[in-house]
Amino acid sequence: MANLQCPYCYRNFTTVVNAPQVQCPHCGNIVNTGMGYQQQPNQQQPQYAYGQPAGGTAPGSGKDHIVGGVLCLLLGGFGIHYFYCGKVAGGLICLLLTFLSCGIWGVLLLVQGIMMLTMSQEDFDRKYVYSSSTFPLF
Ligand SMILES: [Zn+2]
């Protein structure tokens, strides 16, 4: 049971039907009630990478290779892209290398960032997210 306002005639009415749509008793238009949506599939939309086709590909990691690559290029010295991929230890190693290598590591990060941007989402997931390596490099 719910109190609703019809969006067509703006009159209030009460419905006892637990349905996503009911008919307005005043004007006869179909009114969305917002009820009964628990079983609707659009509540559980699969997360897919931005710019990817919605269907046909295996479910991704949810970690976008573009985001990873941009993070690597902008904040790579802090290991942010490793943290983003769930590689916390790798991020800490990366952070250490930044301080120890006096800039050499930064060149590698530049290459790594460009690779992340240019590789396919599947390659990115496999190499950086699903990889069992603590510190996946290239
Ligand atoms: Zn109405």
Q: Where are the domains of the chain?
A: 2-36, 65-129
The C-alpha torsion from 68 through 72 and 74 to 75, rounded to 10°, is 110
Pairing of strands 2-5, 12-15: antiparallel
Greater pLDDT, 43 or 10 = 10
Distance 11 CA to ligand 1 centre (A): 6
| Banded pLDDT at 40 (limits 50, 70, 90) | very low
Place of tokens 């969305």: 32
Centre of ligand 1 from the C-alpha of residue 38, in Å: 25
Task: Return the H-helix or E-strand segment holding 138.
Answer: none
**What's the token pair of residue 2?**
């719910």
Span from the CA of 39 to the centroid of ligand 1 (angstroms): 27
Q: How far is CA 17 from the centre of its chain?
A: 36
Tell me how far the alpha carbon of residue 12 lies from the centroid of ligand 1, in angstroms: 8
Give residue 41 CA to ligand 1 midpoint distance, Å. 28
Start-end of H helices in 25-79: 65-75
Q: Please give the average per-residue pLDDT across 123-138, as a whole number.
A: 90
Contacts of residue 50, defined as CB under 8 A and 6 or more positions apart, other chains included, come to: 64, 66
Rounded to the nearest angstrom, the distance between the alpha carbon of 40 and the centre of ligand 1 is 25
What are the pLDDT digits (tens) for 65-104? 999 999 999 999 999 999 999 999 999 999 999 989 878 8
Distance CA 77, CA 21 (A): 54
* Cα–ligand 1 centroid distance for 43 (angstroms): 28
From the CA of 75, how far away is ligand 1's center (Å)?
56
